[in-house]
Each structure stands twice: as C-alpha cells, then as structure tokens.
Chain A
Amino acid sequence: MKLELQKLAKTYAGKSGPVAALSPTTFSVEGGAFVTLLGPSGCGKSTALQLIAGLDEPTSGEVRLDGGRVTGPGAERGMVFQSYTLFPWLNVFDNTRFSTHLSRNRARPGADLPADARERARSLLELMGLKDFQHAYPRELSGGMKQRVAIARALTNRPKLLLMDEPFGALDAQTREEMQQLMLLLHAHERTTVLFVTHDVEEALYLSSRVLVFSARPGRVISDLAVPFGSSAERRPELKLSPEFTELKRELFGLLHPGARSHDGRGALLDKLVSPKVRSLHT
C-alpha cells in the first residue's frame, strides 16, 4: 500500500470570494503506518481526509493509491467519522457486516466468502468487546460503543487504508483513553494503514508512528515528525507520563501555538466584565 498526495489543494466558493481550505499539500504514506494529521480546527486536515476518501473533489492536485488516481469513494479506503454514522435500523452485527452485502465488494477478487465475512465481523466485534451486544440496536449503545462498531464495520471489508476523522472527538476523556488503547491493539493486530485526524497533541503522539502538523487556515504541512516510541503493540498508557513523551508534546504544542496568546491587551475588556459594585470595592 502506498498513498501519495501530490500538490493536493481545495478552495471553496465562499460568500465573499473563494476560501482556501487546503494549500497545495504533498506527502506520501507507506503501508502499515499510523499517520496522524494534527492541527487546529479549521486547518484543512479534515478536508484532506475527505479528498483522500474521494467524498470531495480537489481544486487542484491529486491523490494516488498504489499508483492509481483516486476519483471517487471506494471500499479500499474505509472511513470513520466523528459523528455517529451507524445505520439505526440494523443491529450491531448487521451494521458490522453491511459491506459484505454490497455488489462491488462481492465482485472484488480475493473477497471473503459470505461465511468467512460473517466470521470476520464476529471476531472484530469480539475484539472490540462487543460480543454481548451483537443484537443491540445503535440507539441502545453509548457513544464509545457506537464508535467501536463503526470501526469494526470499516475493518470488516479489509480496507487498505483506514481514514479516521476525529473519531473520538465526541467522547468523554475516559472512554477516549480506552478507545486509544483499542486502536493500538487493532493496528498491531490488523496492520491496516491508518490516517488519523485530530487536534489533540497527546492523542496524536500516543497513537501514531508519524505526525504531520498542519498550520492554521489555509492549512499546509509545517512539520513531519517520526514518533520514536516503538510499535503500536509496545505502547502503554504510562508512556504518556515519560519525560521523552512530555518533551515531544511540548515541542508540538509550541508548533501549534506559536507565541501562545496570553490575555495581554484584553485587560480592559476583562475589567468590563466585573460588576461596577465590585470594581468600586477595588478602587
């Protein structure tokens, strides 16, 4: 698997002239990697992911997967969204094996036989800790469980590339950490190439083998960092507390917030928020 972005750029037509969402961006991803696109919100990292998925068309440049140009969405590029996208009328198991019913996936050379696909869906759910919830419907699940089903559903189809657009963005801190651990387990086990979008520095460092840092809008890659903490299988939560991790975190934080803004210059504004009564006490 090799993914290449060549001068990929996207401009939207805004109300007051065109808005550049993504400046021409060039990078490539090797098979088996866990690459994170890290940047502030609205920096175009999600746009890049949509373009790679083929859900949107680039203004210029192109995406190539194993040499072939991406012209539209396809099953070899699975995607997990931030919002919950399970099919509400299907139970967990039927959601997970949704792709096995689709004509293109059945016609694909080397596709699993129906029985094998069913077995794979079942094992993925078991790996996700959802064995007992196979017959539950999405509305009965918590947010973390929904996202686990969404990941399992995307993987059932054996995609070459898994695109994840802030998949844990809507989850609480504890569930998020569980999901991160699960992601590492899955990556170690499945060896699927992952392209992960987040604005969380810690999440990016903990999960990925490589981090691409995006600048604010219009987004462009300002740093390409190899993360030296070993393979996915070796990472444990304690890693987040190590000095090396903290040091890298500080470095990335500096990149994301150049000249971190203090409340300088806003003193007068803040003063206005204080009620006159209190202010008179101060003076």
Chain B
Amino acid sequence: MTISAAKDLALETETPFVDDVSQARAEPAAREKTRWFELRRDIPVWGYRSLAAGGFVVMVALWAWLSHRAFVNPVFVPTPGSVWEAARDLLADENLWLDLKTSMLRVSAGFLLAALMAVPLGILMGSFKVFEGLLQPLTEFVRYIPVPALIPIFMVLFGIDELSKIMLIWLGTFFQLVLMVADETRRVPYELLQVSYTLGATRREVLRLVMWRAAMPGIFDALRLCNGWAWTYLVVAELIAANEGLGYRVLKFSRFLQTPKIWVYLVILGVIGLGLDMLFRVLNQKLFHWADTAKR
C-alpha cells in the first residue's frame, strides 16, 4: 500500500538513493505463479467466480442426469424440464406474489423485532457482568427449547393470526442473536476502554462513544447470520393456520406430492436468502469500511 511505503519518508526528509530504489522496483517483475491449494491464500477473482458458478452447474447437471435414470421415482426427483414448466405456471399465478409478500412481511417483522431487542440487550450483557449474570444462563436455557414444540403455547398466547407467526420467528432468532451480540461486545479489546478512560471519558461516554461502535461490525455480521435463520423458521411459523406464504405453500404442495412445484419454491427461497446475504455483506463493507477485513 502506498501509505506504508510513504511511512519511511514521513519523518526523514533526507533519503538518498530513493530514485535508484524506485527504478529497481519498476523493473517488470516475473509473473507470480498462482497457487491453488495454498492454505488461506487468495486465488484469482476469475477463478473464484468460475468455481462458484461451476458448483451450481455441476449440481444441476447431476440432478438432470439422476432424474432421467430408470431407478429414480420421478415423484421424488422430477426432471429439470418438469420443474421449469411448473415455474412458468407458478410465475403466472398471482398466488406466488401473494406468498412472497406475506412471507417477506412475516420474516421482516419477526427479525426486526428480534434485532431491535437483541442488539441493545446484548450490548448490555457484553458490557456489564450484572446483566450477563442475570440474563445469559436464562437465554442459554431458552435457546435449547425446540421452537416447534412451542407452537401450541404460542397459539394460546398470540392467537392463530399474524402475531403468533411473527412471534415464532422472533423466538427462533432473538435468543441466538442476543448471545452473539453479547459475544461480539465482549470481544472489544479492553485496552480500548482503558484508553478512553485515560482520555477523560465517563463510563456512559465509553458505552456511548466506544463500546457499541467497536462492536458494530461484528454485530452486523451476527444480524446477517440471524436473518438466514429467520427464513428457516418461516416454514415452522406457517404451520400455524396459514392460508398463504412460501412455507405454507411448500407444505401444501408436499401434501399433494407436487414435487416440481416444491422445487420452484425452494429455489425462490434460496435466491432470496442469497440476495439478502449479499445485501448484508455489501452494507457491511459500506458502513464499516474502517474495520479489519478479517471481521467482514
């Protein structure tokens, strides 16, 4: 990087032979050989992208091959052609758009509620041992209760409308997220707090100006992971008296063994997940460009 190269010049004004050195460096260097299997080493971007695309191509090819074998029951493994036809039908059907809208709203509401509660609470738990002691063991306990097991209770508590579905998604993500946010907050180097105190900061100022700022890139990454889980809990949530939604529709298709349609919906869910993940990553890089790359 230019800055570290200029470091030597920052203090000293007399640097003889600088010209010689830069000329020597300007010589065309031998092209570095790409090593594909070096531990943790970067590979060229084109290579990375082709591998990513190749993974999908191989999977689809494998599927296509398998679906045309005689020993495979077409009910369980439909051919790509039949899935494609099902997709054309479904895209024309307004139910798909209704499902998308409903599910998006449910996931967003549950996830946002979880995030709004978990981030402040997690920061408190990571900052103060009192809150950690009070809430951490409790959270760990609740976290291990399987969400589907709570459906009857949630139906009694929140009814069978939207609220119970949203709360179920909230339940699936909130307790995980709180613990992750607390961990990220605890990962803020203690020296960063100490130095703030020696600069004259009060405890409140350390919390307000340093603690959460330093933890934010990590917290944002935790949000990204949790958003993925929110989508997986969607199917569970739509077990409760739903009339539309992506998860509900998948369950309904499976009841009638309409496998091609199931696949269409699964692909849609995958694409949404991938898109949101990428959105989170891009936002992270924009918002926290100052953070070490390892953190992103």
Contacts and interface: CB of A to CB of B under 8 A. Distances in A.
Given A101-B209, A157-B199, A88 B291 contact: yes
Interface residues of B, number: 31
B56 interface: no
B213 A140 contact: no
A77 interface: yes
Contacts of B38: none
Given A139-B290, A141-B3, A154-B198, A81 B191 contact: yes
B57 to A, nearest CB: 37
Contacts, number: 100
A137 B199 contact: no
Given A75-B198, A79-B198, A140-B1, A145 B10 contact: yes
Contacts of A98: 196, 199, 209
B47 interface: no
A137 B290 contact: yes
Given A73-B198, A77-B198, A140-B3, A85 B191 contact: yes
B214 A129 contact: no
B16 interface: no
Contacts of A90: 290
Q: Which one of A137, A139, A142 has the highest number of Cβ atoms from chain B below 10 Å of its Cβ?
A: A142
A157 B198 CA distance: 10
A81 B198 CA distance: 11
Interface stretch (B69-77, B200-208, B232-240, B257-265): B200-208
B3 A102 contact: no
B189 A83 contact: yes
B214 A87 contact: yes
Given A55-B194, A79-B194, A88-B292, A104 B214 contact: no
B206 to A, nearest CB: 10
B7 A144 contact: yes
Interface residues of A, number: 44
B11 A178 contact: yes
Task: Identify the interface centre among A72, A89, A133: most chain B CB within 10 Å of its CB.
Answer: A89
Interface in B179-223: 189, 191-192, 194-202, 205, 209-210, 213-214, 216
A54 B197 CA distance: 9
B198 A53 contact: yes
Nearest to B12: A178
Contacts of A77: 198
B22 interface: no
Nearest to A102: B200
A219 interface: no
A78 B197 CA distance: 9
A53 B189 CA distance: 18
A42 interface: no
Contact of B3 (A74, A83, A133): A133
B200 A142 contact: no
A142 B10 CA distance: 11
B4 interface: yes
Contacts of B202: 102-104
Interface string A157-188: 10000010000000000000010001000000
Contacts of A137: 289-290
A11 interface: no
A85 B189 contact: yes
Contacts of A89: 213-214, 216, 288, 290-291
B87 to A, nearest CB: 45
A54 B195 CA distance: 11
Contacts of A83: 189, 191
Interface of A: 53-55, 72-75, 77-79, 81, 83, 85, 87-90, 98-99, 101-105, 129-130, 132-133, 136-142, 144-145, 150, 153-154, 157, 163, 178, 182
Given A87-B192, A133-B10, A137-B290, 4 more contacts: A55-B198, A87-B210, A102-B199, A102-B202
Interface of B: 1, 3-4, 6-7, 10-12, 189, 191-192, 194-202, 205, 209-210, 213-214, 216, 288-292
11 contacts: A53-B194, A55-B198, A81-B191, A85-B191, A85-B194, A89-B214, A140-B1, A140-B4, A144-B7, A153-B199, A163-B198
